[in-house]
């Protein structure tokens, strides 16, 4: 794969221009990192930067038939250059838009991207690491075909379905990404996991949902997860899915959502919803935020729990009761819980206390602690942490 990485106006000033927003990495240092990231992914990378719209357009024209994908940070041209939009379309290449800062949380004029419709994906708010995630998305996009379904009218109410080889019907893995429920983390974080699951014989349903900062949080995020899982019934009309074997696989905040999805109580009264169309039959919780009250008390994710529920436990005990997996026990289905001892994002003690409570409540739980693993290794298909979790997953069917 040969990828062209384009940086637009003012990005030559990286490292000195507003470092509180854009960081201290210079453009030359960034390009060196991109070359390393590309090499690790077997990608040949070409980098180009210009402050002039016409030069960027000419460079895009030259990419036709030469490159296999684009990564573009158009700078301020993002917000008004329809000419750049048209040039991206003209390349006929998959393009990923990147922004170092979270443009959704900045000045109103920065929140509109006229080039986004020309791109297959957008990555924002992850600092310079966003370029690495953009390369990952291009690799994963090319690795296996998928079908994108809209389970609701919102831009974030979508899921990607990947179907394994063979006639089926295939058991389903509902993949739920983490990111402390915040909007700059999207389902690309679990693309590789979804691909690996499909290669293992699972139909993977990589679920997107509204997140804090983009219309999510209480109760929209939970409602999206419930609706997105139920939409498998519609997707099953197109593909051979075994809806009697549906395992939710969630990481971090996605682990919270996976555990919650097993019960899916009405958010007004905490009573399980009898209209559920697709029942989760097992859960794999990877470094899950499984105890919201403990997460609130510990301030995990820079006070992510309070941002998600918009309440402290004292202010909104009913929200915690309806959303907190440890308060919803027993879930009544088998669970696999995996956590790295070196995890600095979600402390391993949370899984320990959750497993103890689930076991006492009578739920069948398999628990594995990985002494040398941290947080992100659990969703890296190349890492032994995920390989162990994948092995345990097979015990649920």
Record the tokens describing residue 201, joined without a space: 């014989």
pLDDT for the residue 95 = 98
How many CB atoms are closer than 10 A to CB 146? Answer: 19
Query: Angle, to 10 degrees, between the axis of helix 191-199 and the axis of helix 129-143?
Result: 30
Q: What is the tally of helices (H) and strands (E) in the chain? A: 15, 13
Q: Do 289 and 313 sit in the same domain of this protein?
A: yes
How many CB atoms are closer than 10 A to CB 370? Answer: 22
Domain count, the chain: 2
Q: Please list the active-site residues.
A: 22, 99
Q: Do 88 and 234 sit in the same domain of this protein?
A: no
Residue 54: Cβ-neighbour burial (10 angstroms; 0-12, 13-18, 19+)? exposed
Which residues on adjacent β-strands are paired with residue 246? 172
Q: Do 130 and 168 sit in the same domain of this protein?
A: no
Q: Do 157 and 293 sit in the same domain of this protein?
A: yes
pLDDT for the residue 282 = 98
Q: Do 97 and 177 sit in the same domain of this protein?
A: no
pLDDT for the residue 20 = 85
Calpha distance 183→220 (Å, rounded)? 13
- Identify the domain boundary among 94, 113, 138: 138
Calpha distance 185→38 (Å, rounded)? 21
- Identify the domain boundary among 138, 167, 201: 138
CATH of residue 165: 3.40.50.1820
Q: Do 43 and 128 sit in the same domain of this protein?
A: yes
pTM: 0.94
Instruction: Answer yes or no: are the C-beta atoms of 115 and 74 closer than 8 Å.
Output: yes
How many CB atoms are closer than 10 A to CB 228? Answer: 24
Q: Do 232 and 357 sit in the same domain of this protein?
A: yes
CATH of residue 127: 3.40.50.9100
DSSP state at residue 212: B
3-state SS assignment for residue 33: helix
pLDDT for the residue 12 = 94
Q: Do 126 and 198 sit in the same domain of this protein?
A: no
Q: Which residue stretches of the chain have pLDDT < 50?
A: none
pLDDT for the residue 126 = 96
pLDDT for the residue 105 = 86
Nearest to 8 by CA among 27, 34, 25: 27
pLDDT tens digits, one per residue of 7-44 = 999 999 999 988 888 888 999 999 999 999 999 999 99
- Identify the domain boundary among 84, 107, 138: 138
Instruction: Answer yes or no: are the C-beta atoms of 78 and 113 closer than 8 Å.
Output: yes
Q: Do 116 and 240 sit in the same domain of this protein?
A: no
pLDDT tens digits, one per residue of 49-83 = 999 999 999 999 999 999 999 999 999 999 999 99
CA separation (Å) from 315 to 89, 309, 312? 50, 10, 5
List, edge to edge, every strand of the sheet that includes 203-207: 147-150, 158-162, 203-207, 170-176, 241-251, 282-286, 335-340, 365-370
Nearest to 50 by CA among 9, 81, 87, 17: 9
Q: Do 282 and 220 sit in the same domain of this protein?
A: yes
Query: Angle, to 10 degrees, between the axis of helix 253-261 and the axis of helix 300-309?
Result: 40
Q: Do 27 and 98 sit in the same domain of this protein?
A: yes
- The pairing of strands 2-7 and 44-49 is parallel
- Residue ranges of alpha helices (H) inside the chain are 19-22, 27-40, 53-61, 82-91, 129-143, 191-199, 220-230, 232-235, 253-261, 292-298, 300-309, 317-323, 325-328, 348-360, 384-393
List, edge to edge, every strand of the sheet that includes 95-99: 44-49, 2-7, 69-73, 95-99, 121-124
Q: Do 298 and 181 sit in the same domain of this protein?
A: yes
Full residue range of the structural domain in which residue 34 is found:
2-138
pLDDT for the residue 397 = 84
């Amino acid at each position: 794969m040969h990828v062209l990485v384009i940086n637009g106006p003012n990005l030559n000033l990286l490292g000195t221009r507003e470092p509180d927003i854009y960081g201290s990495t210079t453009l030359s240092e960034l390009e060196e990192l991109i070359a390393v990231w590309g090499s690790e992914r077997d990608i040949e990378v070409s980098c180009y930067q210009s402050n002039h719209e016409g030069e960027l357009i000419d460079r895009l024209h030259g990419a036709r038939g030469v490159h296999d994908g684009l990564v573009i940070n158009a700078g301020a041209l993002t917000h008004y250059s329809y000419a750049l939009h048209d040039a991206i379309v003209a390349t006929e290449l998959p393009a990923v838009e990147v922004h170092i800062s979270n443009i959704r949380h900045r000045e109103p004029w920065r929140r509109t991207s006229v080039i986004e419709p020309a791109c297959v994906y957008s990555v924002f708010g992850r600092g310079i690491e966003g370029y690495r995630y953009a390369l990952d998305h291009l690799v994963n996009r090319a690795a296996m075909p998928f079908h994108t379904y809209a389970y609701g009218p919102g831009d974030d109410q979508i899921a990607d379905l990947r179907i394994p080889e063979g006639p089926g019907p295939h058991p389903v893995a509902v993949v739920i990404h983490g990111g402390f429920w915040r909007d700059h983390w999207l389902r690309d974080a679990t693309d590789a996991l979804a691909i690996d699951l499909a290669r293992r014989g699972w139909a993977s349903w990589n679920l997107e949902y509204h997140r804090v900062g983009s219309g999510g949080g209480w109760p929209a995020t939970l409602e999206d997860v419930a609706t997105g899982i139920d939409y498998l019934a519609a997707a099953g009309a197109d593909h051979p899915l075994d809806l009697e074997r549906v395992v939710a696989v969630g990481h971090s905040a996605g682990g919270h959502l996976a555990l919650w999805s097993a019960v899916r109580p009405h958010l007004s009264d905490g009573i399980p919803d009898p209209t559920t169309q697709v029942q989760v039959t097992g859960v794999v919780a990877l470094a899950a935020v499984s105890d919201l009250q403990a997460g609130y008390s510990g301030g995990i994710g820079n006070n992510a729990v309070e941002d998600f529920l918009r309440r402290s436990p004292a202010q909104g005990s009913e929200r915690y009761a309806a959303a907190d997996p440890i308060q919803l026990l027993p879930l009544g289905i088998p669970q696999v819980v995996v956590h790295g001892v070196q995890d600095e994002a979600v402390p391993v003690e949370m899984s320990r206390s959750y497993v103890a409570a689930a076991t006492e409540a009578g739920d069948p739980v398999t628990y594995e602690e990985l002494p040398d693993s941290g947080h992100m290794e659990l969703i890296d298909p190349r890492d032994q942490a995920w390989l162990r979790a994948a092995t345990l997953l097979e015990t649920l069917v």
